[in-house]
């Protein structure tokens, strides 16, 4: 599988280790930067280029995924998700890595390099790569809705649109946590 990687200065050392780790498993690794440590560099261009490459490869029928990371992984996930066709998921443990693939068919994983040991993060990435999309109809339907929104900005109808009263709570309303 081809794996595209993008990071910033916070993940540079992690990136080098990860590239060796993935290559040793037989993956083709493409590094989108940075190439040297600069504490003032900006992650968006690195992560967006990695995300663009994932979409381009997938459109060409190449089995590929992306990995973006930085200090927290948050900004890197946001940057990757700006690319049409990317479904980047912030992952912090094995279950979130599995669910990102099984339920969301995520094609990019985002990780906080300063939040985990290399071994932990590598295990999340390995599980992400190894886990297939379930293909269940409900998940495919939801992914199709996201893709349609990306294309034309149209959402499913709002069920409250024709309701007699708006769905608004005020301070006098009581809440029963057992009832939801």
List the catalytic residues: 76, 103
Q: Which backbone phi and psi does 108 adopt, to 5 degrees?
A: -140, 135
**Edge-to-edge, what's the strand order for the sheet holding 108-112?**
28-31, 2-6, 64-70, 108-112, 88-90
Between β-strands 88-90 and 64-70, what pairing exists: parallel, antiparallel or unpaired?
unpaired
Residue 110's beta-bridge partner residues? 68, 90
Q: Which of these, 96, 34, 26, 37, lies nearest to 63 by C-alpha position?
A: 26
Q: Residue 57: which H helix or E strand, with range?
A: helix 43-59
**In angstroms, rounded to a whole number, what is the distance separating the alpha carbons of residues 60 and 6?**
20
């Amino acid at each position: 599988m081809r794996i595209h990687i993008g990071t910033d200065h916070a993940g540079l050392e992690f990136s080098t280790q990860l590239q060796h780790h993935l290559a040793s498993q037989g993956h083709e690794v493409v590094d989108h930067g940075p190439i040297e440590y600069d504490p003032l560099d900006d992650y968006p261009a690195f992560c967006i280029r990695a995300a663009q490459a994932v979409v381009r490869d997938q459109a060409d029928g190449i089995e590929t995924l992306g990995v973006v990371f930085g200090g927290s992984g948050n900004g890197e996930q946001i940057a990757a998700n700006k690319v049409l066709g990317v479904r980047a998921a912030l992952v912090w443990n094995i279950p979130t890595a599995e669910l990102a693939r099984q339920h969301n068919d995520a094609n990019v994983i985002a990780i906080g390099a300063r939040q985990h040991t290399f071994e932990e993060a590598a295990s999340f990435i390995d599980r992400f790569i190894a886990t297939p999309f379930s293909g269940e109809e409900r998940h495919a339907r939801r992914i199709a809705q996201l893709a349609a929104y990306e294309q034309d900005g149209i959402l499913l109808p709002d069920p409250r649109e024709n309701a007699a009263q708006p769905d608004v709570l005020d301070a006098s309303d009581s809440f029963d946590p057992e009832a939801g």
